[in-house]
């Protein structure tokens, strides 16, 4: 929020404090703590673009249960931080997806699953299909498949967690050596 | 300077004495007070998610850390603490920012009057029941204000629903509480518990206990009566515009503190508090309250949501007559000396 | 509605809930550590045997989303034009037609089905890479950048067959 609107004359002090806090937070124990909180609490918003949502349903169901990773589907988008774009995205729905994305608070992440979301898939000649979801919203992780299996969705969640683990609190990525264990 | 140093030393000495001898500071900050309540809140969030998962044959939070993922609520809270705060352009900004804190204060205020045992009360008060019930009644007003302040359709519908729902459950709740007050001839929680010596009020006033229990679940806004939230109908209802830490505070106040306070109220009023008082009386109260909380959280895994019309009809047609009949029975029984004590 | 009946129904539903809470075992597969046993013939990632391929392009013609492109490589005695399939898994719907229609059994499918990538270009598999997948399927994970995940698949233990557990039962067809 804009400091000037709410704090009047104190806005410069508030700005300085915010800059100080922003730098303090990047130090390692605090950064790791914040990232730990973020990566184990990814709440996807309930938005179903198409038929790949069966993969999401299977993933949240009893067999795969990605609530183990802290993925809790939640009804309202102001509290959420993950959009899972499931399959075909039409131009008509793309506007809504963009609006949902804009209304969500930072930091926010997007997972695109299914061949249609990645490239248009089998419908790529259709007039109404968005061929490239990353032109609508910035996508973090892509999952191929038609539809992908719930395991692939789990891999996507794990990749996203790894991406958060290797980023600053402000969201910029930091380079750390890859360790294969 | 010496005076200041002496004062600090005296304060520290007092604090040490207080904390080691369970004085008022200990009560307010540690045991029935803040620290205990927040630790309990973490355990409750974890237990709720884990229990819903178990009923659905799932595992629930696991990898966040700790045994069986008990650190999951802390991860959620840290995430919310470092999330962007969005204040809607059209919102009433002062109210919008102030209301989460007010709600936390209002939701936690009754803890001051709740006894864990005869001496384990933060603020002993001869009118404790009235105070606690008054604070509990205040919460739907905050929901209504929240809906109005965030200036969103869903939030406003949620607030209106909360007010409408309150019309239903408020009267049965107060009439049932009046039955308890009449039977024990006091608004003092300690006397209320002491007068349940042979038999709990849940056994001598079952109708009132049932009416109070249902009204209590509605007051908490929990399934099956989470009509002001109603995820599937009105997005998330009254807190739909709240982001980040403000939503975190609302989650603690509206979903956990109300659950804790009202379960404790039910325990003290109907389940005999720390009776039978042998052993550690605080443990008796806690175990009873925990069972009530467990039951109410268990509803979430089992029941669907009622419609608002169904609920208000039920409250006026069934609960209100039930509580009034209960009050009349108690009134008649007091003349027979069934509840002990002096005849009126 | 009859309030007594409603109350009894609520109590019944709660009893069912308690039964599930205390007696029924969980059926969750702890996915990164355990792996589901897939039925034989599962259609997953492809591999190519370049020495069998003749460049007839039937796979590219049969591909419904046109994910297969024929690319020019060094000609071999068997493949004189030097055409080999390049599979773009951005488009692939894993229908298996290319494998089905291949007259020389050059294309095959593995049961690897859990790919996810940061970068979509990693899903374009040229013929040399498809050839390598045959020798070492785990190269798929390295190529698509998934070895940043801490529990790689090739160190997992297989779960017990899930269909014998409670919850999902295969009932044989009655004759």
Total tally of structural domains belonging to chain B = 1
Torsion angle (degrees, nearest 10) of CA A13, A17, A20, A21:
-170
Q: Which long-range contacts (CB under 8 A, 24 or more apart) does B48-54 make?
A: B48/B297, B48/B300, B49/A67, B49/A72, B51/B294, B51/B297, B51/B298, B51/B301, B51/C21, B52/B300, B52/B301, B53/A65, B53/A67, B54/C20, B54/C21, B54/C26
CB contact under 8 A, A64 and C29: yes
pLDDT in tens, B310-340: 888 888 888 899 899 998 988 888 877 777 6
Q: What does the mean pLDDT of chain B come to?
A: 86
pLDDT of residue B292: 92
Say if CB C131 and CB C47 are below 8 A apart.
yes
Judging contacts by C-beta atoms under 8 Å, the chain C residues touching residue B62 are 30
For residue B246, tell me if it sits in a domain: yes
Task: Report which of B174, B162, B303, B170 is spatially closest to residue B229, judged by C-alpha positions.
Answer: B162
Which of B260-264, B289-293, C23-27, C80-84 is predicted least confidently?
Answer: C23-27
Gap between the terminal Cα atoms of chain C: 45
Domain C46-169 has CATH 3.30.590.20: no
Residue of chain C whose alpha carbon sits nearest to that of B315 = C3
CB contact under 8 A, A162 and C148: yes
Please, which residues have CB within 8 angstroms of residue C58's CB and are 6 or more apart in sequence? C101, C102, C103
Q: What does the mean pLDDT of chain A come to?
A: 84
Q: Please report, for residues B138, B252, C76, the alpha-carbon distance to residue B148 in angstroms, rounded to integers and kept in the order given.
A: 16, 21, 76
- In percent, the amount of chain B with pLDDT more than 90 equals 7
Specify which residues C124 forms β-bridges with: C88
Best residue in B65, B83, B241 to probe A by mutation, most A CBs within 10 Å? B83
Judging contacts by C-beta atoms under 8 Å, the chain C residues touching residue A162 are 148-150
Residue B83, SS3 per DSSP? coil
The residue segments making up the domain with residue B161 are: 91-336
For residue B201, tell me if it sits in a domain: yes
pLDDT of residue C166: 47
The rounded distance, in Å, linking the Cα atoms of C68 and A132 is: 19
Average pLDDT over residues B72-101: 87
Say if CB B339 and CB B198 are below 8 A apart.
no
- In this complex, the chains that touch B, judged by 3 or more CB pairs closer than 8 A, are A, C
Judging contacts by C-beta atoms under 8 Å, the chain A residues touching residue C39 are none
Say if CB A129 and CB A90 are below 8 A apart.
yes
Q: Domains of chain A (ranges plus CATH)?
A: 40-168+175-179 (3.40.50.12280)
Res B131 pLDDT > 80: yes
The low-confidence residues of chain C, meaning pLDDT below 70, are 1, 150-175
For residue B43, tell me if it sits in a domain: no
Please, which residues have CB within 8 angstroms of residue C137's CB and are 6 or more apart in sequence? C45, C47, C110, C112
CB contact under 8 A, B75 and A75: no
The pair of structure tokens assigned to B221 is 């806004």
Which of B58-72, B254-268, C44-58, C153-167 is predicted least confidently?
Answer: C153-167
Judging contacts by C-beta atoms under 8 Å, the chain A residues touching residue B64 are 40-41, 70
pLDDT of residue C172: 52
ipTM, two decimals, is 0.84
Judging contacts by C-beta atoms under 8 Å, the chain C residues touching residue A166 are 148
* pLDDT range class, residue B290, cuts 50, 70, 90: very high
Q: Which long-range contacts (CB under 8 A, 24 or more apart) does A121-129 make?
A: A121/A88, A121/A146, A121/C65, A121/C91, A121/C93, A122/A146, A122/C64, A122/C65, A122/C91, A122/C93, A123/A88, A124/C65, A124/C91, A128/A90, A128/A91, A128/A92, A129/A88, A129/A89, A129/A90, A129/A91
Pairing of strands C107-109, A141-143: unpaired
> Quick one: how far is CA C20 from the chain centroid?
32
Residue of chain C whose alpha carbon sits nearest to that of A152 = C114
The pair of structure tokens assigned to B66 is 């700790």
Best residue in B57, B59, B296 to probe C by mutation, most C CBs within 10 Å? B57
The rounded distance, in Å, linking the Cα atoms of A22 and A18 is: 6
Judging contacts by C-beta atoms under 8 Å, the chain C residues touching residue A141 are 116-118
Burial of C4 (0-12, 13-18, 19+ CB in 10 A): exposed
Q: Is B168 on the interface with A (CB under 8 A)?
A: no
The pair of structure tokens assigned to C68 is 């297969």
Q: Which residue has the higher pLDDT, B58 or C149?
A: B58
The pair of structure tokens assigned to C102 is 């291949």
CB contact under 8 A, B75 and A25: no
Extents of the domains making up chain C: 46-169
Say if CB A56 and CB A86 are below 8 A apart.
yes
The torsion angles phi and psi of A145, rounded to 5 degrees, stand at 130, 160
The rounded distance, in Å, linking the Cα atoms of A50 and A126 is: 15
Task: Report which of B226, B227, B212, B223 is spatially closest to residue B330, judged by C-alpha positions.
Answer: B212
Specify which residues C143 forms β-bridges with: none
Q: pLDDT tens, position by position, for chain A (181 residues)? A: 444 455 667 778 888 888 888 888 888 888 888 888 888 888 998 888 888 888 888 888 888 888 888 888 887 888 888 999 988 889 999 999 999 999 888 888 999 998 888 888 888 888 988 888 888 899 989 999 888 888 888 888 888 888 888 888 877 777 665 444 3
pLDDT of residue C152: 45
Res B173 pLDDT > 50: yes
Describe the crossing of helices B72-81 and A28-39 by its angle, rounded to 10 degrees: 110
Please, which residues have CB within 8 angstroms of residue B205's CB and are 6 or more apart in sequence? B176, B179, B180, B183, B270, B326, B329, B330
Residue among C94, C116, C167 whose CB faces A143 most closely: C116
Gap between the terminal Cα atoms of chain A: 42
Q: Which residue has the tokens 């993925």?
A: A71
pTM: 0.85
The rounded distance, in Å, linking the Cα atoms of A161 and B75 is: 13
pLDDT of residue B1: 65
For residue B227, tell me if it sits in a domain: yes
pLDDT in tens, A94-109: 999 999 999 888 888 9
The pair of structure tokens assigned to C130 is 């498809």
Res B112 pLDDT > 60: yes
pLDDT of residue A180: 43
pLDDT in tens, B197-224: 878 888 888 888 989 999 999 888 888 8
- In percent, the amount of chain A with pLDDT more than 90 equals 7
The pair of structure tokens assigned to B91 is 């919102």
pLDDT of residue B57: 83
3-state secondary structure A87-104: CCCEHHHHHHHHHHHHHC
The pair of structure tokens assigned to B289 is 């309250």
Q: Is C82 on the interface with A (CB under 8 A)?
A: no
Helices (H), chain C: 3-22, 58-62, 97-101, 127-135, 139-143
């Amino acid at each position: 929020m804009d400091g000037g609107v709410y704090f009047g004359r104190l806005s410069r002090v508030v700005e300085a404090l915010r800059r100080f806090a922003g730098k303090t937070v990047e130090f390692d124990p605090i950064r790791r703590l914040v990232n730990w909180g973020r990566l184990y609490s990814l709440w996807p918003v309930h938005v179903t673009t198409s038929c790949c949502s069966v993969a999401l349903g299977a993933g949240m169901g009893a067999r795969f249960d990605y609530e183990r990773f802290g993925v809790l589907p939640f009804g309202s988008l102001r509290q959420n931080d993950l959009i899972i774009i499931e399959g075909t995205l039409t131009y008509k729905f793309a506007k809504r997806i963009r609006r949902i994305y804009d209304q969500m608070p930072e930091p926010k992440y997007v997972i695109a699953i299914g061949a249609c979301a990645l490239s248009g898939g089998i419908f790529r000649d259709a007039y109404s299909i968005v061929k490239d979801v990353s032109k609508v919203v910035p996508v973090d992780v892509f999952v191929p498949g038609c539809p992908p299996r719930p395991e692939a969705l789990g891999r996507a969640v794990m990749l996203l967690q790894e991406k958060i683990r290797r980023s600053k609190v402000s969201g910029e990525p930091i380079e750390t050596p890859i360790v294969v264990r | 300077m010496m005076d200041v140093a002496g004062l600090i030393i005296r304060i520290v000495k007092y604090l040490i004495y207080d904390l080691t001898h369970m004085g008022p500071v200990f009560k307010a900050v540690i045991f029935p007070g803040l620290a205990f309540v927040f630790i309990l809140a973490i355990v409750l969030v974890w237990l709720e998610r884990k229990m819903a998962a178990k009923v659905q044959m799932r595992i629930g939070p696991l990898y966040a850390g700790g045994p069986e993922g008990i650190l999951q609520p802390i991860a959620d809270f840290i995430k919310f603490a470092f999330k962007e705060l969005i204040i809607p352009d059209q919102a009433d900004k002062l109210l919008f920012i102030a209301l989460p804190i007010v709600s936390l204060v209002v939701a936690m205020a009754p803890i001051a009057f709740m006894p864990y045992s005869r001496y384990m009360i933060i603020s002993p008060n001869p009118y404790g029941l009235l105070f606690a019930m008054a604070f509990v009644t205040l919460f739907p007003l905050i929901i209504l204000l929240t809906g109005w302040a965030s200036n969103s359709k869903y939030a406003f519908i949620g607030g209106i629903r909360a007010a409408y729902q309150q019309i239903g459950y408020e009267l049965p709740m107060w009439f049932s509480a009046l039955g308890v007050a009449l039977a024990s001839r006091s608004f003092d929680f300690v006397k209320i518990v002491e007068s349940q010596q042979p038999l709990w009020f849940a056994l001598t006033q079952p109708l009132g206990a049932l009416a109070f229990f249902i009204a209590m679940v509605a007051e908490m806004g929990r399934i099956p009566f989470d009509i002001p939230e109603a995820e599937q109908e009105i997005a998330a209802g009254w807190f739909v515009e709240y982001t980040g830490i403000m939503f975190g505070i609302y989650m603690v106040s509206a979903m956990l503190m109300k659950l804790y306070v009202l379960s404790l109220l039910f325990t003290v009023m109907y389940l005999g508090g720390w009776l039978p008082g042998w052993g550690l009386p605080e443990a008796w109260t806690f175990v009873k309250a925990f069972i009530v909380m467990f039951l109410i959280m268990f509803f979430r895994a089992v029941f669907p949501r009622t419609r608002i019309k169904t609920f208000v009809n039920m409250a006026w047609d069934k609960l209100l007559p039930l509580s009034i009949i209960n009050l009349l029975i108690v009134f008649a029984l007091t003349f027979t000396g069934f509840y002990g004590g002096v005849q009126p | 509605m009859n309030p007594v009946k409603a109350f009894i129904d609520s109590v019944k539903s709660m009893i069912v809930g308690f039964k599930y809470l205390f007696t029924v075992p969980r059926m969750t597969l702890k996915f990164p550590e355990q792996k589901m046993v897939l039925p034989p013939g599962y259609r997953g990632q492809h591999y190519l045997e370049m020495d069998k391929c003749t460049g007839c392009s039937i796979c590219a013609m049969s591909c419904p989303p046109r994910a297969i492109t024929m690319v020019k490589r060094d000609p071999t005695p068997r493949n004189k034009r030097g055409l080999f399939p390049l599979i773009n898994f951005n488009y692939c719907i894993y229908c298996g037609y290319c494998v089905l229609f291949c007259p020389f059994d050059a294309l095959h499918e593995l049961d690897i089905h859990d790919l996810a990538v940061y970068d979509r270009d990693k899903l374009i598999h040229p013929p040399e890479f498809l050839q390598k997948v045959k020798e070492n399927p785990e190269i798929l994970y390295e190529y698509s950048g998934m070895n940043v995940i801490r529990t790689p698949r090739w160190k997992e233990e297989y779960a017990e067959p899930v269909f014998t557990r409670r919850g999902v039962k295969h009932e044989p067809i009655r004759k």
